[in-house]
Amino acid sequence: MRTQIIQVPYDSGHKNYRMGLGPGHIVRHLKAEHFPLTEVSEVEVHDGIALEIGTSFAVARRLSEKVRDVAGSGAFPLVLAGNCISCVGTLAGLGAPPPAIIWLDAHGDFNTPETTIDGFLDGMGLTTALGRCWAKLAATVPGFRPVPETQAILVGAREFDVDERALLDTSAVHLIPPQHIRNHGWRAELEPVLAKIQTYTRRAYLHIDLDVLDPAEARVNQFAAPGGLTSTELLGIVSLVRERFTLCAAAITAYDPEYDEGEKAVRAAVAVIRELSSRV
């Protein structure tokens, strides 16, 4: 299947700012390495003053249309986005029934407006996708439907706010901490959970916040946290998910080139894109 890249160069409602610079940087590397790119498109909004919440959902509405067009043309939508909240647009564009969510991230992204202590919308990405918050705004994104929590797995997360962690623990979301992967291997940890999710759906959306990687492997952004995955583990997980599910879209998010010493993180991103685009 042909892979089509959709760039979402936004961070917190601002275009080409901080992690919003990540998508363009990744695409430049793909071109420099002569990666066979058929088409690269970009999401853009013209909404006047940038509002973290309002503009992020305006971006999601545009992204939803793009993803629907790309998937409808028979191509695989690969979203390169500054923010994790882009998941709302991608999932909406895929339409019903909701796919499984395989979410790789250093953080929980499981805050709500009631639990967050930093007010960063991206810390609410997974909760929004699951219908736990911003329901009214998410409903403005064409095609959006909350994903059932039993279909969601969070892999590699190791940094949580206190109330965020408490909320996650009461949810049905499957959590696989990086330490478990370190101790038992990614295959042994993921396979039973993926098998369980497969009883609900065979389709999946793969969300890779690149900061799931350990900073010793690659420093991805200012939110990097120690104790993360190696590139080998990340690629192994991508490969396993592709074995077990029909991937209907994937996203690579939260890459800020400014923190990427020696371009290690962008190389990791390119390796993931190669794995995603290889034949199963």
Q: How far is the CB of 183 from Mn ion (least distance, A)?
A: 24
Q: How far is the CB of 228 from Mn ion (least distance, A)?
A: 12
If DSSP codes are grouped into helix, strand and coil, which group holds residue 42? Answer: strand
Q: How far is the CB of 211 from Mn ion (least distance, A)?
A: 7
When asked if residue 109 is in the footprint of Mn ion (CB under 5 A), the reply is: yes
When asked if residue 11 is in the footprint of Mn ion (CB under 5 A), the reply is: no
Burial of 110 (0-12, 13-18, 19+ CB in 10 A): buried
Convert 204-239 into a string of H (helix), E (strand) and C (coil): EEEEEEHHHECCCCCCCCCCCCCCCECHHHHHHHHH
Q: Tell me the window of 4-12, 53-61, 104-112, 230-238 that interacts with Mn ion (CB under 5 A).
A: 104-112
Find all residues with CB under 8 Å of 243, minimum gap 6, and list them: 280
Q: Which two tokens stand for residue 240?
A: 């396993």
Footprint (CB under 5 A) of Mn ion, residues 185-224 = 209
Q: Which of 105, 233, 256, 260 binds Mn ion (CB under 5 A)?
A: 105
Q: Which of 21, 63, 81, 84 binds Mn ion (CB under 5 A)?
A: 84
Q: Tell me the window of 13-21, 106-114, 237-245, 270-278 that interacts with Mn ion (CB under 5 A).
A: 106-114
Q: How far is the CB of 212 from Mn ion (least distance, A)?
A: 8
Q: How far is the CB of 199 from Mn ion (least distance, A)?
A: 27
Find all residues with CB under 8 Å of 101, minimum gap 6, and list them: 87, 91, 126, 129, 130, 147, 151, 152, 153, 204, 205, 207
Q: Which chain residues interact with Mn ion by CB under 5 A?
A: 84, 105, 109, 209
